[in-house]
Amino acid sequence: MLLATQVRSRTAKGIAAEIGRLITSGELDVATRLPAIRALADELEVSPTTVQHAYQALAQSGLVIAQGKRGTVVRGAAESTRPPRYAASDKELMPLWDLTSGTPDPALLPDVGAALMSLAAQDTAILTSGYMEQPVLPDLEWELRRRWPFEPGAITVVDGALDAIDRLFRLTLRVGDRVLVENPTFPPVLDMIERAGAEIIGLPLDEHGIVPGSLRDALEMRPSLLVLQPRAQNPSGVSMTHERAEDLAAVLTGSSVLIIEDDHAGGITSASQVSLGSYLPDRVIRILSFSKAFGPDLRLAAVGGAADTIVRLDNARALGPGWSSRLLQHVLLYLLTDERALAQLANARAVYAHRRRSMVEALRREGFQIVGEDGINIWVPVANENEARIRLAMRDAGIAVALGSSFLSAPLPSEFIRITCSAISEGFTELAGAIAAAALPPRARTSRPAHPR
């Protein structure tokens, strides 16, 4: 079917509506590739931006999926709506050692029960009132501002770091935009960029963060966004140093790129707070998630920085949930200020640091070259990720690991697996030995120094 002949409207909204009707009526089959933006724009005699906006509206309504360079494809109603990189990480086996999760050790979370009990003493009428209050509890905002690594123009609270990124992308990204990310990075961020029909540009990391020269080169492609993780980068464990932040800020000064800093593991990281916001406060939005510190189910993250963007985020949310539960904000405020909770958090931080260090040392003794010093994830180079994953899963005990390719936007010189070490409290040497047997290329295995088991 020649799509252009079926479309009469010449506005983005109208084009989206007509193509949408063709999809829902079944006239356009599932998996049909829509014409390239420029081709359809030429046929309809409209600007490519109009078609771009139409495709974007269709993608947002879930009728099509933007697959980057592969184009825009009609999506089936019954087709899995699970984001592609999540689906790739679904596991078939129930291993004894599940090192795939990326989540904190439940045993190390502070006592949320005490925080909930503290609510009982408060007036529920006040706690559960009104639509018209500020999105953030004033006392919580004060605590957050106190902790922020730079003076934020505005601050709000949303339902987790991923919610923050989703909302920021929806506000700022258009089809065809270019987004700079660390390569490797957190898979859902890659899925979200593709969903928006934007192009991903992966920047290499070294042990101090994004390599400044690669950022300088990438700016020539006129990206609109840079998304980075300042501490305990997932999956690599790298934290940005002060010097690196200064260098990156210098590179970014002449550009108009908006910067999103995802401090996803704040609270449990050992690195100090470093932010590009210290240099470019009007262009940086920093997200602070509490999932690793207080448990993913608290579902809260703070977002602070460039005021215009944060006000837009709050305004856009007004036609939806409006704000993040203030009951939960009370719980967060309690956890951020209660001495016992803070002591539990400090203990968790120390235990995670010990576990990661122990696991990395054991892997290094096996001959693995590991970068990154922080957080709960370890990025392990392997000869072949699929082979390594299957061999580890098939061991007697069964060890499940995440495939490195899910984290990549461009190939790296080696393949990788990611292991989460948050809950490994013993058996580091045995685990590292098993990973080496399954994962190291024969050359590395034979050249590794002998050591007693």
Ligand X SMILES: Cc1ncc(COP(=O)(O)O)c(C=O)c1O
Could you identify the residue written with the tokens 């919610």? 163
Which residues inside 214-253 make contact with ligand X, applying CB under 6 A?
Answer: 229, 234
What tokens were used for 191? 């899925």
Whichever of 141 and 262 has its CB closer to ligand X, that residue is 262
Whichever of 101 and 278 has its CB closer to ligand X, that residue is 101
Element (H, E) at 410: none
User: Residue 449 Cβ, how far from ligand X at the closest point, in Å?
Assistant: 33
Whichever of 263 and 385 has its CB closer to ligand X, that residue is 263
Residue from the set 262, 314, 373, 415 that interacts with ligand X by CB under 6 A? 262
User: Residue 21 Cβ, how far from ligand X at the closest point, in Å?
Assistant: 35
Residue nearest to ligand X (CB): 160
User: Residue 438 Cβ, how far from ligand X at the closest point, in Å?
Assistant: 25
Which residues inside 303-342 make contact with ligand X, applying CB under 6 A?
Answer: none
Number of residues in contact with ligand X under rule CB under 6 A: 13
Question: What are the distances in angstroms from CA 213 to CA 185, 210, 256, 319, 348?
Answer: 19, 9, 18, 42, 36
The verdict on whether omega for the bond into residue 184 sits within 30 degrees of 0, i.e. cis, is yes
SS3 content of the chain, % helix, strand, coil (to 5): 45, 15, 40
| Binding segment (CB under 6 A) for ligand X, from list 7-15, 89-97, 157-165, 209-217 | 157-165
User: Of 402, 396, 407, 434, which Cα lies nearest the Cα of 418?
Assistant: 402
| Binding segment (CB under 6 A) for ligand X, from list 113-121, 158-166, 191-199, 361-369 | 158-166
Which residues inside 25-84 make contact with ligand X, applying CB under 6 A?
Answer: none
What is the rounded CA–CA span in Å between residue 112 and residue 180? 37
Query: Does residue 100 bind ligand X (CB under 6 A)?
Result: no
Query: Does residue 264 bind ligand X (CB under 6 A)?
Result: yes
Whichever of 37 and 300 has its CB closer to ligand X, that residue is 300
User: Of 29, 28, 59, 53, which Cα lies nearest the Cα of 41?
Assistant: 53
Count the neighbouring beta carbons within 10 Å of the beta carbon of residue 209: 26
- Distant-in-sequence, close-in-space partners of 428: CB < 8 Å, separation ≥ 6: 358, 359, 361, 362
What is the rounded CA–CA span in Å between residue 375 and residue 269? 5
Whichever of 16 and 136 has its CB closer to ligand X, that residue is 136
Whichever of 50 and 291 has its CB closer to ligand X, that residue is 291
Residue from the set 104, 110, 160, 184 that interacts with ligand X by CB under 6 A? 160
What are the beta bridge partners of residue 451?
A: none
User: Of 255, 159, 235, 188, which Cα lies nearest the Cα of 418?
Assistant: 235
| Binding segment (CB under 6 A) for ligand X, from list 69-77, 159-167, 236-244, 387-395 | 159-167
Residue 1 CB burial class (10 angstroms; 0-12, 13-18, ≥19): exposed
Query: Does residue 379 bind ligand X (CB under 6 A)?
Result: no
Residue from the set 144, 157, 161, 419 that interacts with ligand X by CB under 6 A? 161
- Distant-in-sequence, close-in-space partners of 57: CB < 8 Å, separation ≥ 6: 12, 13, 16
Residue from the set 22, 46, 66, 102 that interacts with ligand X by CB under 6 A? 102
What is the rounded CA–CA span in Å between residue 180 and residue 169? 13
Could you identify the residue written with the tokens 């790298």? 238
| Binding segment (CB under 6 A) for ligand X, from list 80-88, 108-116, 154-162, 172-180 | 154-162
Whichever of 295 and 441 has its CB closer to ligand X, that residue is 295
Site string for ligand X, 176-195 (x = CB under 6 A): ----------x---------
User: Residue 443 Cβ, how far from ligand X at the closest point, in Å?
Assistant: 32
What is the rounded CA–CA span in Å between residue 189 and residue 138? 30
User: Residue 357 Cβ, how far from ligand X at the closest point, in Å?
Assistant: 20
Which residues lie near ligand X (CB under 6 A)? 102, 160-162, 186, 229, 234, 262, 264, 289, 291, 296, 301
